[in-house]
A and B are shown apart, each in its own frame.
Chain A
Amino acid sequence: MHPAPSLILFTTLSGLGFGLLAWLGIDLSPPEGGTAFAWLALAYALCLSGLAASALHLKRRERALKAFSQWRTSWLSREAWAALATLLLGGGYGLSLLLGYPLLPLGWLTTLAALGTVLCTAMIYAQLKSVPRWHHRSTPALFFAYALTGGALLYGQRWPALLLLALTAALQCWVWIDGDRRFARSGTTLASATGLGPQGSPRELFPPHTGSNYLLREMVFVVARRHAVKLRVLAGLLAFVLPAALLLATAISYFNFICLALHVAGVFLSRWLFFAEAEHVVGLYYGR
């Protein structure tokens, strides 16, 4: 799939923002006053800039509000509602912190809603049977893991962050390895795509058009596959190994920022791979 910068920005930033809200919501001794406001502002900035990036992906932005209408079937629509609910709940909770009367249950609801939003984001991809690498329960698990890890690093939760870094790294490695086999496991081949299997083994003879088209640009992105292994190693180092090593090596809190910056860079890279490596079955019709 085409790794659109708008979608990479969206999933990374909003994942981080909702992860932060999730940690903020379950903090038993939450910050108060100005500190609470600063955390809330940061979370909102991340979530909203992510959502704004996702709006950039739309070709007809003026109609974006229509996306709230189909929550019964569409994960994209559900995500819009979940994001709105999270921001409203988080705002209410933030207000209670600001006023010095923390309503902890409201915080727990914020956490739930934030995780629900991340689930909706992940399900947009996991629901697509046409992209076997994504069509797996590990996709929401991985989105949860990244959001909680980033949130823990951002919110300065040292030990949870270390634990989550290890867990997310393990999950990501398994997803990379298992993901490589999912297309074959899906059973979709050029033979099933053309129905010509019983006649023999088909192969593409010539394409239907000499130029490129939307389908090839959007869904048959093959450039990334060449350097996939190197990029995976780099993403793993940036997202997990280096932040964990820095966290272990020092207890000084301002290193957290460097950890976070490294982690986010790694998440950007892994998200780029998430899109770029995903093979859509339509590529079969074009012999790719």
Chain B
Amino acid sequence: MTDLPSHTERQLGLVIDLDTCVGCHACVVACKGWNTQSQPSPLSDQDAHGAAPSGTFLNRVHAYEVMPQAGPAQLVHFPKSCLHCADAPCVTVCPTGASFKRAEDGIVLVNEADCIGCGLCAWACPYGAREMDMAEGVMKKCTLCVDRIYNETLPEQDREPACVRTCPAGARHFGDLSDPESEVSLLVEARGGMDLMPEQGTRPANKYLPPRPRDAWQGEVDVLAPWLEPVAEEPRGLLGWIDRTLARL
């Protein structure tokens, strides 16, 4: 049923550090690589090597420039995937029950075998987290690598989403956001983690850590400058004579 669970035992999700992300897109590649093999159907691409390539991705990295009131502009790399919302609008609109939110861990999933490819869930999602697979005709979305995190055949350090496992900057964190003592919750608390589009009322599980304020120049910081002043302002000796003579002409 596409009713949302009234309560989830846990709420797994991601915490994404906008201060640390370097925009390398490794998470995008790792996500595509894992999920194109592990889902019931591959994440298809269309015209992949042609003039107008297009494909299904569950994670994309945007880039924004933030212009503060004063000081230089700041570049922010901005990874975006499903936020596994508590009030997920994509789930309740689904006419077939293919979309659902799990009561045990809060992950929002699509059962491909029930999806009719109407696209209404993608319309309902304000974040653009769902993409229609044009080859398979069903909706695809981030599963929080549900087939990794509980997978006992994987080494323990690999039991986290592929994007988190691969991030070379340590900008992505995975954990239970409903537990106030979990590492991710403490991180959110310490860094002022925020919701995207809070006014949409979706109550997203994933949190974003805002970029830390940048340093600014304060007072005289260039300690070498006094020693780099030109020693002779006026030329002397032969050069001085030439300078004076030419000036008289």
Enumerate chain A interface residues (CB-CB to B < 8 A). 1, 57-61, 63-64, 66-70, 72-77, 80, 124, 127-131, 186-188, 190, 192-196, 198-209, 211-215, 218-219, 280-282, 285-286
Contact flags B194-236 to A (C-beta < 8 A → 1, else 0): 1111111100000010110000000000000000000000000
Number of residues from B at the complex interface, CB < 8 A: 66
How far, in Å, is B215 (CB) from chain A's closest CB?
A: 14
Complex interface: chain A residues within 8 A of B96 (CB): 63, 66-67, 69-70, 77
Complex interface: chain B residues within 8 A of A69 (CB): 95-97
Contact flags B179-203 to A (C-beta < 8 A → 1, else 0): 0000000000000001111111100
- How far is A199 from B74 in the complex, measured between Cα atoms in Å? 9
How far, in Å, is B57 (CB) from chain A's closest CB?
A: 7
Given A58-B118, A63-B114, A201-B67: A131 in contact with B123 (beta carbons within 8 A): yes
Complex interface: chain B residues within 8 A of A127 (CB): 93, 124
Contact pick for B80, options A187, A196, A199, A285, CB 8 Å: A285
The 3 closest A-B pairs by CB, nearest first: A59-B117, A59-B137, A282-B128
B66 near A199 with CB under 8 A, answer yes
- Is B116 on the interface with A (CB-CB < 8 A)? yes
- How far is A77 from B91 in the complex, measured between Cα atoms in Å? 13
Contact pick for A80, options B1, B52, B95, B137, CB 8 Å: B95
- Is B166 on the interface with A (CB-CB < 8 A)? no
Most chain A CB within 10 A, of B56, B69, B196, B197, is at: B197
Complex interface: chain B residues within 8 A of A215 (CB): 122, 128, 131
B120 near A214 with CB under 8 A, answer no
Complex interface: chain A residues within 8 A of B97 (CB): 66, 69-70
Contact pick for A196, options B76, B116, B119, CB 8 Å: B76
Most chain B CB within 10 A, of A130, A131, A206, A209, is at: A130
A200 near B197 with CB under 8 A, answer no
- How far is A76 from B132 in the complex, measured between Cα atoms in Å? 18
Given A60-B117, A66-B97, A76-B120: A202 in contact with B1 (beta carbons within 8 A): no
Enumerate chain B interface residues (CB-CB to A < 8 A). 1-3, 18, 28, 52-57, 60-69, 73-76, 78, 80, 89, 91-98, 114-120, 122-128, 131-132, 134, 137-138, 194-201, 208, 210-211
Contact pick for A76, options B3, B118, B125, CB 8 Å: B118
A66 near B114 with CB under 8 A, answer yes
A211 near B126 with CB under 8 A, answer no
Given contacts A208-B61, A285-B128, 12 further A-B contacts (CB under 8 A): A59-B119, A66-B114, A68-B95, A70-B1, A74-B92, A129-B126, A192-B197, A193-B126, A205-B63, A205-B64, A214-B134, A280-B123
Complex interface: chain B residues within 8 A of A80 (CB): 95
Contact pick for A58, options B53, B116, B210, CB 8 Å: B116
Complex interface: chain A residues within 8 A of B115 (CB): 60, 63
B92 near A218 with CB under 8 A, answer no
How far, in Å, is B93 (CB) from chain A's closest CB?
A: 6
- How far is A278 from B237 in the complex, measured between Cα atoms in Å? 79
B89 near A129 with CB under 8 A, answer yes
Given A129-B89, A215-B122: A281 in contact with B54 (beta carbons within 8 A): no
Complex interface: chain B residues within 8 A of A188 (CB): 126, 197, 199-200
Cross-chain pairs A/B with CB under 8 angstroms, 21 sampled: A59-B119, A66-B95, A66-B96, A66-B114, A67-B118, A68-B95, A72-B2, A73-B2, A75-B93, A76-B120, A130-B125, A192-B199, A195-B196, A199-B76, A205-B65, A207-B63, A208-B61, A211-B54, A213-B131, A218-B122, A219-B122
Complex interface: chain B residues within 8 A of A199 (CB): 66, 68, 74, 76, 210-211
A196 near B95 with CB under 8 A, answer no
A198 near B210 with CB under 8 A, answer yes
- How far is A64 from B69 in the complex, measured between Cα atoms in Å? 53
A60 near B69 with CB under 8 A, answer no
